[in-house]
Each structure stands twice: as C-alpha cells, then as structure tokens.
Amino acid sequence: MSYYEDTVVQMGRTLRNLRAMLDKAAEFAGARGAEADCFVGFSLHPDMRPFAFQIQAACDAAKFAAARLAGVEPPKNPDTEKTLDELRARIDATLAFLDGLEAAQFDGAGEREVPISFLPGKAAYGADYLREFVLPNFYFHSAMAYALLRQAGVSLGKRDFITHLTLHDVAS
C-alpha cells in the first residue's frame, strides 16, 4: 500500500460510490413524486449534522488528506450545497482534484508534518494523521451518508458502499 493509494485511489472509489448513491436517491424520490433534494437536510438525530454535511465532510477529508500528504494546497469549498446536484458537483470537484495528483507527490508523506487545524500548536506525522484521524473520519461521514439514505428508504446495500474490487482469477 502507499499513501497515494490510501487517499487518491481508495477515497476516490468511495466518493464515486457516494455519487452513485446520490443518483439512486434521486431516482427513489422521483419514483415517489418527491423532490430529490428532500434528503439534503436529513439527520439521524436532532443534534447530528445533516446529510449535506456528511457529503461535504467526506469530500473535505479526502481532499485535505491528499493535499497535506502530497504537500500541495487543497481547493477551497464554501459548504453551501443545498441540492443533490450541488452535492454531486462537490464530489466531482473533489474527484477532479484527487485525479490531478500523482503518486510521486506522496513520496515521504508518512514523515511529513501535518498541522492539526482544530488543535492549535499541534501536528501529526503523515502516517499517524492518515491512520488515526483521516481514515476513521472519512469512513464515518461516508457511512453516515449511506445510513441516512437507507433510513429514508433508498434501496442501497453493502455493495453500493463497497464496490470496484480489484480482483483476479485464482489458479486452479
């Protein structure tokens, strides 16, 4: 495994899966005569951030991790998405950023010092940052988005969350 594969490749796969889930949510709403954007404000609990935030946070986790580990500036996003189309565009922009990075930019990423913005004066090395914060945070928000759509009745299964497996034939 490499830092490039853990961020650009794997997080990119999950973001593509989330984008496909947005398409299924829109189809689900349309089949019931509902507005597709009805999902944007859903949350599992009154003190929980809504669906739109879960998508924004997953995108942010991917772009900030990739940028910090590659030593580049991340794009800025204002977190103003209020429709499924805007959330799709947010995912697409994040994917475009990730796809523009090259594996060589991640050389030395594990030893790179990453400032922790919400803990002033603190930093983590890239390996710890990715393993202890980024991956749990990214998958938390991705899973919450999935759970919110499932709770709303969208027909999703585990294969919608985990797809694009790299497989090979087994020698018999």
pLDDT of residue 163: 83
Torsion of CA 105, 111, 117, 118, to 10 degrees: 140
Confidence of residue 1 (pLDDT cuts 50, 70, 90): confident
Instruction: Give the model's pLDDT for residue 172.
Output: 83
**In sequence order, which residues have a C-beta less than 8 Å from that of residue 88 and are 6 or more positions away?**
19, 22, 23
pLDDT confidence bin for 10, thresholds 50/70/90: very high
Every domain of the chain and the residues it spans = 3-161
Sole residue written with tokens 């050389």: 107
Global pTM exceeds 0.85: yes
What is the pLDDT, as a whole number, of residue 165?
A: 79
Say which DSSP state 133 is in.
Answer: I
What are 20-41's pLDDT values in tens digits? 999 999 999 999 999 989 999 9
Rg (alpha carbons) of the chain, rounded to whole number: 17
The arrangement of secondary structure in 3-161, i.e. its CATH architecture, is Up-down Bundle (1.20)
pLDDT digit string, tens, across residues 80-135: 999 999 999 999 999 999 999 999 999 999 999 999 989 999 999 999 999 999 99
- Enter the tokens of residue 28: 């689900």
